[in-house]
Structure 1
């Protein structure tokens, strides 16, 4: 599809933007404005600790399984870099070292194997 085929009414665009802005503000206000100064229960705090641990793999997994440079075809280079990153993360327990290893190994493998 070209940009001219995606023509739509500008009022629809602004309605979507306004709806997303209101929804985003409402979601943030629910946590910061309504719950911000209250003490959270221990069980909720225990579960919130795992939020980042769940979000990072959810963002990275599609990029490993269906990488954009290969038009969505599985790539051994991406799997190898992800496996090396996982091994470093498990043994070092250091997120920054694992991320740096993943980036460097991906760049190195792509340079060597093209």
Structure 2
């Protein structure tokens, strides 16, 4: 039995991952703020950055709609209806806040109606 065995805390791998991912996030942000600074970005980069929110928000929401933990991983009608309502309102009004509020209201109503 080695003298070092058992001295490492059980949650050390978790903290290692947290620190590495945190440093990676900082490095990505620093690449824009620290290295580029006040210099103007090329037009093609600005064009791509404009779609970041449009790509990230659905990527965060889709798993919650199609594989919700509350439904044991199976899609639920209330969440699907709320996602459709949020999409329709977002397209019709071209408003992120309106889409979020519509999705919230429809989800709350559908959960109340469907149980």
TM-score between both structures, scaled by the size of structure 2: 0.82
Return the alpha-carbon distance in structure 1 between the equivalents of residues 62 and 16 of structure 2.
33
1:30 partnered with 2:31? yes
- 1:75 counterpart = 2:86: no
Provide the C-alpha distance between the structure 2 equivalents of 1:14 and 1:95, rounded to a whole number of angstroms.
Answer: 35
- Single out whichever of 101-110 and 26-35 deviates more from structure 2: 26-35
Matches within 5 A, 1:89-104: 89-104=90-105
Q: Helix, strand or coil for the counterpart of 1:39?
A: coil
Structure 1 match to 2:64: 63
Q: Runs of 4+ in structure 1 displaced over 6 angstroms?
A: none
Deviations 1:57-76 (A, max 9, x none): 11111111111210111111
Distance verdict in 2 for CA 1:91–1:20, change over 3 Å? closer
| Count of paired positions | 108
- The runs of 5 or more residues in structure 1 that have no matched partner are 1-7
> In structure 2, what is the Cα distance between the partners aligned to 1:52 and 1:59?
10
- 1:10, 1:109 → 2: CA distance? 40
User: Normalising by the residue count of structure 1, what TM-score does the alignment of the two structures yield?
Assistant: 0.83
When the two chains are superposed, the root-mean-square deviation of aligned CA atoms in Å is: 2.0
1:51 aligned residue: 52
Shift in CA distance, 14/104, structure 1 to aligned 2, threshold 3 Å: closer
- Structure 2 segments unaligned to the other structure (5+ residues): 1-8
